[in-house]
């Protein structure tokens, strides 16, 4: 991720608005009660701001979750409303979205996330 690259962040903002905001919120706020399973057993879309857990995951895992989708990574019949974006977004677009999301976190959270990603 590169939250300091203005071109990448601008592209990420556009891609996020077109592909992610309808579930994760225009301001990265997620869906209400995102920690409580819905009637169908699936979890609502979590926030990508600092109130969520996105920043707790390393870059590679966030990329894989976005590209392949949570169900593909979790296996075991796990069901999620989030699709994989492998056939929709290029790798560069996925990295741009992740850079945009990270650019919205406070600097201290970005630094903590850098440490998580380097482990």
For residue 22, pLDDT beyond 80? yes
**Does residue 84 sit within a domain?**
yes
Would you give the DSSP letter of residue 45?
A: P
Chain Cα centroid distance, residue 112: 17
For residue 119, pLDDT beyond 90? no
Tokens 């970005």 — which residue?
110
**Does residue 63 sit within a domain?**
yes
Confidence of residue 31 (pLDDT cuts 50, 70, 90): very high
**Does residue 15 sit within a domain?**
yes
**Does residue 19 sit within a domain?**
yes
Mean pLDDT (whole number) for 36-58: 92
Residue 30 pLDDT: 95
Alpha carbons 108 and 76: distance in angstroms, whole number? 36
Supply the CATH number for residue 75's domain.
1.10.760.10
Write down the pTM of the prediction. Answer: 0.92
Number of domains in the chain: 1
**Does residue 1 sit within a domain?**
no
Residue 50 pLDDT: 93
**Does residue 92 sit within a domain?**
yes
**Does residue 29 sit within a domain?**
yes
Residues in the chain: 119
Q: Which domain holds residue 108?
A: 6-118
Query: How buried is 114 (Cβ within 10 angstroms: 0-12 exposed, 13-18 middle, 19+ buried)?
Result: middle
Alpha carbons 16 and 38: distance in angstroms, whole number? 24
**Does residue 106 sit within a domain?**
yes
Average pLDDT, the chain: 93
């Amino acid at each position: 991720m590169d939250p300091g690259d203005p071109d990448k962040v601008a592209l990420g903002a556009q891609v996020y608005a077109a592909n992610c905001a309808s579930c994760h919120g225009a301001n990265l706020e997620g869906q209400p009660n995102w920690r409580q399973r819905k009637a169908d057993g699936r979890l609502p879309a979590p926030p990508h701001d600092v109130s969520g857990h996105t920043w707790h995951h390393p870059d590679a895992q966030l990329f894989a979750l976005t590209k392949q989708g949570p169900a593909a990574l979790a296996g075991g019949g796990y069901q999620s409303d989030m699709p994989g974006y492998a056939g929709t977004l290029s790798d560069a677009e996925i990295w741009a979205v992740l850079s945009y999301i990270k650019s919205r976190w406070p600097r201290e959270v970005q630094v903590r996330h850098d440490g998580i990603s380097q482990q």
